[in-house]
Homo-oligomer: A and B are copies of this chain.
């Protein structure tokens, strides 16, 4: 390129980066030639020299457990990733989807990013340790439960949201409220469980907890139903409301309950701690906490950019508050129940 325009590499670089003064003439010539021969500065060479690639890495930790990017009925992560990609671009970055970079075969490119967003880290998450060792700035969405302050984070509002859902189930008519959740040791599971136990304690009730590995997916709904309704020895502890932390547990549970002749919401109230499309459109529609993944992702990307570029604006460091979407699965009043037979909810 330099020789094509008859100038030095220095001048080409300056023409493209506009640092020093380059004469109008030279500037034009360089740009004309660049246009003509389709020259663009090599991003990798620039990256090496400048120690910046303009790439944000995203590690969706729960998916490393699931060993799938496509868990049926989980749209949280795809909504999060999509929004993060868009936000990154608006800040002049690309978004790179990265799987567990501590795994032996992980592509080296996993560590070529300027900054890394890790969602829902596990206790003492090795990914955070690795990033720290490599001096790659990192932030988490939801804290590492074993070391909450180890890196900056967008904090979730799990405690408050858990209370809100449980209170809602109670006011919708639930008297014996169970909790179904996963076994990953991340802040979401651990905080929700603690909040639930606390909530039960305040009411003098014994907690009823159903735990299923995340890998079990919708099938967990069947397990929950079996444990809750099939065991004769537990007939007194039969819940009339179950808070499923994940949308897929909720969907699975609704199906499993129905197959037992248990009606939702008449006999059993069901709510989910994360909203998914099938909760909005299924039958019945399922009340769910909309965690607003798009806005959360936007905040995470902004914090990532700030972390890397070192600006000092005041940014939110907590996720937006969840919004409880009340739907048929917790609505026993006749009006709503009747509407179930007619059209889609206006939700």
Contacts and interface: CB of A to CB of B under 8 A. Distances in A.
Interface stretch (A80-88, A117-125, A202-210, A329-337): A80-88
Interface string A250-263: 00000100100000
Contact of A99 (B81, B89, B255, B341): B89
Interface in A281-333: 281-283, 294
A281 B248 CA distance: 13
Interface stretch (A21-29, A45-53, A190-198): A45-53
A68 B47 CA distance: 28
Query: Assembly of this chain: how many copies?
Result: 2
Interface stretch (A104-112, A146-154, A170-178): A104-112
Contacts of A57: 94
Nearest to A82: B69
A6 interface: no
Interface stretch (A36-44, A137-145, A180-188, A223-231): A36-44
Given A38-B134, A282-B344, A112 B47 contact: yes
Interface in A198-246: none
Contacts of A79: 70, 78
Contacts of A55: 96, 107, 109, 112
A92 B78 contact: no
Contact of A85 (B92, B94, B97, B134): B97
Contacts of A53: 44, 109, 112
A83 to B, nearest CB: 6
A281 B280 CA distance: 9
A150 to B, nearest CB: 16
Nearest to A92: B107
A293 to B, nearest CB: 9
A172 to B, nearest CB: 22
A314 B281 CA distance: 42
B54 A344 contact: no
Contacts of A110: 43, 94
